[in-house]
């Protein structure tokens, strides 16, 4: 670029070589601008399009954009100035808070100039700061992985084009995500939020010539930044109806691994009506579960067979009869019991459902057995059908390990079965309060995908989970949600009779409580464990202190002594 002697080019030379400038009615700093453009052209080997950031200049001073002699009036109401579909095309982004952004130098004298926001990579760019008193160039520190010359260091600065940020935007029919965000060192919250919005919608790491105004309208918008909490709105067009894997690949996909973020947590998802209604939701819901069991006015009480692995089908059959006959409502496999050599699925299911039939005959009660069908999708369907064919009412799926696809596949078979959703592996995503995905977000997706009952946390048991979040999950699962059936929360993990009153106080009576060691560890054996649990629930529902109720209920008294 420039003449043979290497001197700085003049204005005509720059225009001939493909450089562009902004024409302003009251501001004149073209000598500094062209000097800066000359410097930036020295890094042409980096294949980066520099960006001019014009800030501190009142918007009314920008009269028009010049492009090789063509001009177009700027409309201050428009977020995007009209584009030229001709060689030398220029696009401008209007952003009130951040000034006006525009490309001033094309890459390698290319014929087309784009302002497609790029949020995945740092850009070497020029920063021209203008105020009423001065139009001097501002020196700024450089932040980039690309390297730079000493000459460029005098002027260069990283600019992230804030075209994904619109703090005046009001979501209407958008899918809205709330994130907790800690940016990488050297970046602001705003800059990192732009990375997230771009990567999770229409952006990529570099400028692409295939971007069009139509595509840009589908870009996600950061519309709220409060401290480390960021809200991003996603147009519905970005999502395939009824496809949870695709939605999660967008809003919870690459973004967690980006260098622009130190920590990132998807805290909540608000699904608009059209997207929510594209999912089937539960076929069998909370109220249906109540009808099937005939239980009203108290929690449904259950257990997990223990030890979780090692028992054979015959041993589980014997244990099933002991706990069901003592008054238990519900039993389930543990998350890692499927169909092993020591305990084949078909044999186990056949035996335990036989016990359920026996209880119905002897006591007139319908008891539930949640058989773990977790496996590849086609095998899950075979196992679910086996349960149904043998009179079973319930199947269990480890929804995090089976995946959203597996869950949706089973739900869409319309088998009429209770889907007990275990959340094994969730803590790999939910445990870190600063990074990952919240259990609330997972619960919302699970309801859309059609679970009947979901492990939602206990607050008081052995499993970690903030009280506020557990309550928020409980409230959502039982809420009115576009006419979708309600989901029964499941409390499980480290529970025993002494904890029942606290559980009901926090979560209410619409609850499945499953006890493991808190039943099987009772000093009087499993039958006494069941009775102690029933007695604790009776006392809690009647708001009688456990110690008082234990005076006339031996099994509860023994349990309180055991778990003091």
pLDDT tens across 35-92, in order?
Answer: 444 433 433 333 333 333 333 333 333 333 333 233 333 333 323 332 322 333 233 3
Same domain, 117 and 181: no
* Token pair for 272: 């608009």
Band of residue 313 on the pLDDT scale cut at 50, 70, 90: very high
Q: How many angstroms separate the CA atoms of 160 and 344, rounded?
A: 58
The SS3 of residue 150 is helix
Q: How many angstroms separate the CA atoms of 405 and 127, rounded?
A: 47
Same domain, 271 and 224: yes
Q: Classify residue 470: in a domain, yes or no.
A: yes
Q: Kindly give the pairing relationship between strand 175-183 and strand 261-270.
A: antiparallel
Q: Which helix (H) or strand (E) holds 215?
A: helix 213-216
pLDDT value, residue 544: 97
Separation of CA 426 from chain center: 12
Same domain, 273 and 294: no
* Token pair for 245: 């894997």
Tell me what the mean pLDDT of segment 180-199 comes to: 94
| Sheet containing strand 70-73, strands side by side | 22-24, 62-67, 70-73
Nearest CA among 496, 492, 431 for reference residue 459: 492
**Average pLDDT value for the chain:** 77
Of 131-135, 169-173, 516-520, which gets the smallest average pLDDT? 131-135
Residue 467 reports pLDDT greater than 70: yes
Burial of 525 (0-12, 13-18, 19+ CB in 10 A): middle
Higher pLDDT, 164 or 549: 549
Give the CATH number of the domain where residue 260 resides. 3.30.70.150
Nearest CA among 79, 72, 119, 82 for reference residue 95: 79
Q: How many angstroms separate the CA atoms of 107 and 54, rounded?
A: 20
Provide the 8-state DSSP code for 9: P
pLDDT value, residue 207: 64
Cβ atoms of residues 211 and 305 within 8 Å: no
Same domain, 219 and 295: no
Q: How many angstroms separate the CA atoms of 366 and 467, rounded?
A: 33
Please identify, among 256, 277, 298, the residue that sits at the C-terminal boundary of a domain. 277
* Token pair for 128: 């021209």
pLDDT value, residue 67: 30
Same domain, 198 and 242: yes
Torsion of CA 442, 444, 449, 453, to 10 degrees: 90
Same domain, 141 and 184: no
Same domain, 246 and 385: no
Higher pLDDT, 22 or 424: 424
Q: Classify residue 165: in a domain, yes or no.
A: no
* Token pair for 164: 């994904």
Same domain, 265 and 290: no
Please state the domain count of the chain.
3
Q: How many angstroms separate the CA atoms of 256 and 379, rounded?
A: 32
pLDDT value, residue 564: 87
* Token pair for 275: 């997207």
Same domain, 254 and 295: no
Q: Classify residue 413: in a domain, yes or no.
A: yes
Q: How many angstroms separate the CA atoms of 157 and 123, rounded?
A: 8
pLDDT in tens, 371-401: 999 999 999 999 999 999 999 999 999 999 9
Cβ atoms of residues 323 and 331 within 8 Å: yes
Please identify, among 158, 190, 221, the residue that sits at the C-terminal boundary of a domain. 158
pLDDT in tens, 209-245: 777 778 888 999 999 999 999 999 999 999 999 999 9
Tell me what the mean pLDDT of segment 341-348 comes to: 98
Tell me what the mean pLDDT of segment 398-418 comes to: 98
Same domain, 333 and 240: no
Give the CATH number of the domain where residue 331 resides. 3.20.20.110
Q: Please tell me the total number of residues recorded for the chain in this structure.
A: 564
Q: Classify residue 207: in a domain, yes or no.
A: yes
Band of residue 158 on the pLDDT scale cut at 50, 70, 90: very low
Residue 314 reports pLDDT greater than 80: yes
Q: Classify residue 5: in a domain, yes or no.
A: no
pLDDT value, residue 206: 66
Nearest CA among 275, 293, 320 for reference residue 481: 275
Residue 153 reports pLDDT greater than 90: no
Separation of CA 221 from chain center: 16
The SS3 of residue 244 is helix
pLDDT in tens, 471-490: 999 999 999 999 999 999 99
Of 93-102, 289-298, 391-400, 424-433, which gets the smallest average pLDDT? 93-102
Residue 118 reports pLDDT greater than 60: no
Query: Count of CB atoms within 10 A of residue 7's CB?
Result: 10
Residue 550 reports pLDDT greater than 70: yes
Structural domain of residue 253, as residue ranges?
175-277
pLDDT value, residue 203: 85
Residue 434 reports pLDDT greater than 60: yes
Please identify, among 259, 277, 295, the residue that sits at the C-terminal boundary of a domain. 277
Same domain, 537 and 516: yes
Q: Classify residue 430: in a domain, yes or no.
A: yes
Burial of 150 (0-12, 13-18, 19+ CB in 10 A): exposed
List active site positions.
Answer: 306, 422
Q: Classify residue 163: in a domain, yes or no.
A: no
Same domain, 270 and 294: no
Q: Calculate helix-pair angle for 377-389, 345-363, nearest 10 degrees.
A: 30
Q: Classify residue 168: in a domain, yes or no.
A: no
Nearest CA among 432, 120, 361 for reference residue 259: 120
Q: Which helix (H) or strand (E) holds 73?
A: strand 70-73
Residue 179 reports pLDDT greater than 70: yes
């Amino acid at each position: 670029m420039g003449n043979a002697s290497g001197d700085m080019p003049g204005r005509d030379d720059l225009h001939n070589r493909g450089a562009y400038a902004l024409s302003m009615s009251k501001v004149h700093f073209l000598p500094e601008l062209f000097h800066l453009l000359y410097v930036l052209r020295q890094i042409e080997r980096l294949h980066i399009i520099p960006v001019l950031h014009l800030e501190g200049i009142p918007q009314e001073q920008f009269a028009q954009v010049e492009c090789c002699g063509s001009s177009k009036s700027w409309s201050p109401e428009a977020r995007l100035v009209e584009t030229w579909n001709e060689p030398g095309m220029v696009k401008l982004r209007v952003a009130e808070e951040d000034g006006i952004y525009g490309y001033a130098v094309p890459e390698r004298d290319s014929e087309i100039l784009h302002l497609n926001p790029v949020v995945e990579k740092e850009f070497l760019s020029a920063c021209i700061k203008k105020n009423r008193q001065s139009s001097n160039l501002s020196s700024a520190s450089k932040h980039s992985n690309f390297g730079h010359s000493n000459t460029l260091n005098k002027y260069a600065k990283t600019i992230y084009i804030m075209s994904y940020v619109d703090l005046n935007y009001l979501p209407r029919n958008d899918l809205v995500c709330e994130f907790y965000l800690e940016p990488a060192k050297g970046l602001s919250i705003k800059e990192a939020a732009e990375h997230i919005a771009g990567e999770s919608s229409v952006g990529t790491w570099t400028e692409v010539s295939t971007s069009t105004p139509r595509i840009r309208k589908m870009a996600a918008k950061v519309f709220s930044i409060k401290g480390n909490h960021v809200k991003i709105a996603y147009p519905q067009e970005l999502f395939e109806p009824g496809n949870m894997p695709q939605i999660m690949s967008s809003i919870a996909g690459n973004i967690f691994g980006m260098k622009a973020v130190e920590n990132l947590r998807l805290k909540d998802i608000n699904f608009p009506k059209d997207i929510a209604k594209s999912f089937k939701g539960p076929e069998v819901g909370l109220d249906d579960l109540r009808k099937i069991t005939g239980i009203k006015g108290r929690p449904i009480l259950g257990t997990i067979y223990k030890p979780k692995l090692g028992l054979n089908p015959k041993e589980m059959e014997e244990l099933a009869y002991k706990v069901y006959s003592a008054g238990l409502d519900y039993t389930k496999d543990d998350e890692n019991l499927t169909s092993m050599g020591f305990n084949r699925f078909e044999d186990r299911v056949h035996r335990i459902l036989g016990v359920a039939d026996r209880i119905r005959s002897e006591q007139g009660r319908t008891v539930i057995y949640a058989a773990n069908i977790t496996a590849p999708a086609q095998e899950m369907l075979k196992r679910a059908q086996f349960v149904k064919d043998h009179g079973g009412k319930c199947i269990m799926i480890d929804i995090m390990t089976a995946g959203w696809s597996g869950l949706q596949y089973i739900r869409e078979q319309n088998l009429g079965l209770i889907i007990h959703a275990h959340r094994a592996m969730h803590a790999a995503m939910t445990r870190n309060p600063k990074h990952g995905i919240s259990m609330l977000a997972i619960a919302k997706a699970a309801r859309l995908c059609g679970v009947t009952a979901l492990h939602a946390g206990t607050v008081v048991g052995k499993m970690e989970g903030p009280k506020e979040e557990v309550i928020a999950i409980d409230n959502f699962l039982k809420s009115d949600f576009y006419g979708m059936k309600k989901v029964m929360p499941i409390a499980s993990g480290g529970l025993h009779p002494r904890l029942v009153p606290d559980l009901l106080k926090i979560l209410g009576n619409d609850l499945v409580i499953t006890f493991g060691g808190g039943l099987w560890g009772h000093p009087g054996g499993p039958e006494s464990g069941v009775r102690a649990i029933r007695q604790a629930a009776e006392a809690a529902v009647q708001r009688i202190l456990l110690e008082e109720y234990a005076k006339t209920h031996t099994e509860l008294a023994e349990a309180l002594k055991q778990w003091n």
